[in-house]
Amino acid sequence: MRTLILLSALLLILPAFAASKNDEVDYLGLATLLTRDGEYARAEQALANIDPAAAGVDLIAYHTVRGLLALEQQKMAAAVAGFSAALAAGQDDPLVYLYLAQAHFGLEHYRDALAALDSAGDGVVALSGAWLMRAHAHWMLGERQAAMDTLSAAGAQFPGNFSFMRRQVFYLIDAGLNLQAAELGRRYLELADGKSDDYIAIGTALRRAGSIDEALRFLETARLRFADDAGIDKALAQAWLGNGDPLAAAEILASAALHEPALNLEAAELFRRAGHYARALRLNALIADPQAKLKQRIGILIEQRRYDEVAASEAALARAGLLDDQDLRYALAYAWYRIGDHAAAERNLVPLQRPELFRKATELRRLMQECADARWTCA
């Protein structure tokens, strides 16, 4: 919306450039054209050649383009100054009040943004973005009912635009009214013929708000409707994980990995967390990245106490350039210790520098010393 409005405002200013009838450079018109074309540095250079105190300068156009240039560069304080000066000089275009509202909004001056929108009056009633800005300004000021009322009024103004209802859903979630949000969300998805992204957004927001059951209902419904959408599978897996069920999450990702092999890594990790090591290793074998594959495999084997296989992986880890990973070094050291090769364990303990691993290495050395002094104490 902003780009289209910006072009409209610039077209209002452009005639000043075309009307130049002398041989001097029309810097104001040039700055206007450069701003329209996204040449912001050059537009600033053109404006720098204008003395606003000089006779004959169109202050309304000058300050308006100054504000637009600042707004496009996200320099919100400068934009406020430019638009305020344009209005003080006599600018009466409602769109400039909308720009001023945007600049105040960007500075989180929500009350000032509302005042600017009020000043714009009926001139911006037909712009959906103005309604959304007003609603969010009220919401950020803690005026929740005003925000919801604004969105309801916007929905009546734009009966075919369901973005206002969508925003209401997220406001309800933000307010902790998750059951109401879920009910309105289902209505929105029915009316708007919701896409998979809508289901994901609402389901994820409900999950993050702690309403796991509602999130699961949303996302399970979405999975039936969009059977091959990996995004829904990922969101649903996160919801099951948040529900304390890593196995259900792993099953979903394993199925999704048939179409998106990159998910094998995460699916294998979830099977590991669920204690299903054989399935974790089967998926691990399908991982394309050799480094990620080896690192994960070592973790699974350690949990299974298959120390011989971990120790035997040292050469493969070296070939893969993974021996700089201190966590893997400690895992190797521990595996060598458990199978009784203390020299190999010490070789892998020497490089450890990270404080928590250094402490673990010290404890492992103590155990190895006890084992050397009294063999019956060995693990």
pLDDT of residue 283: 96
Q: How confident is the model at residue 118 (pLDDT cuts 50, 70, 90)?
A: very high
- Give me the percent of the chain exceeding a pLDDT of 90: 66
DSSP 56-113: T--HHHHHHHHHHHHHHTT-HHHHHHHHHHHHHTT---HHHHHHHHHHHHHTT-HHHH
- Give me the percent of the chain exceeding a pLDDT of 70: 92
Q: How confident is the model at residue 9 (pLDDT cuts 50, 70, 90)?
A: low
pLDDT of residue 379: 52
pLDDT tens for each residue of 327-358? 999 999 999 999 989 999 999 999 999 999 99
pLDDT of residue 75: 94
Q: Assess whether pLDDT exceeds 80 at residue 231.
A: yes
Cβ–Cβ < 8 Å for 99, 83: yes
Q: From CA 202, how far away is CA 178, in angstroms rounded?
A: 10
Mean pLDDT, the chain, integer: 89
pLDDT of residue 23: 43
Give the gyration radius of the chain's Cα atoms. 32
Count CA within 13 A, CB hemisphere, residue 52. 14
Cβ–Cβ < 8 Å for 311, 344: yes
pLDDT of residue 281: 96
When pLDDT is averaged across residues 52-64 and rounded to a whole number, the result is 87
What sign has the CA pseudo-torsion 132, 138, 140, 145? Answer: negative
pLDDT tens for each residue of 59-116? 998 899 899 999 998 999 999 999 999 999 999 999 999 999 999 999 999 999 999 9
Q: Assess whether pLDDT exceeds 80 at residue 125.
A: yes
Which string of b and e fits 227-237 if b means at least 16 CB within 10 Å?
eebbbbbbbbb
Amino acid at 306: R
Q: How confident is the model at residue 4 (pLDDT cuts 50, 70, 90)?
A: very low
pLDDT tens for each residue of 261-308? 999 999 999 999 999 999 999 999 999 999 999 999 999 999 999 999
DSSP state of 304: T
Cβ–Cβ < 8 Å for 77, 107: yes
When pLDDT is averaged across residues 190-218 and rounded to a whole number, the result is 89
Ranges 177-181, 259-263, 369-373: which has the least confidence? 369-373
Q: From CA 109, how far away is CA 24, in angstroms rounded?
A: 41
Q: Which two tokens stand for residue 7?
A: 């072009």
Token look-up 């006779």 returns 55
**pTM here?**
0.68
pLDDT of residue 39: 86
Give the closest residue to 16 by CA, choosing from 67, 57, 68: 57
Q: From CA 335, how far away is CA 100, in angstroms rounded?
A: 66
Q: How confident is the model at residue 219 (pLDDT cuts 50, 70, 90)?
A: very high
When pLDDT is averaged across residues 207-212 and rounded to a whole number, the result is 89
* Measured CA distances, 334 to 158, 316, 342 (Å): 66, 17, 9
pLDDT of residue 15: 47
Q: Assess whether pLDDT exceeds 80 at residue 10.
A: no
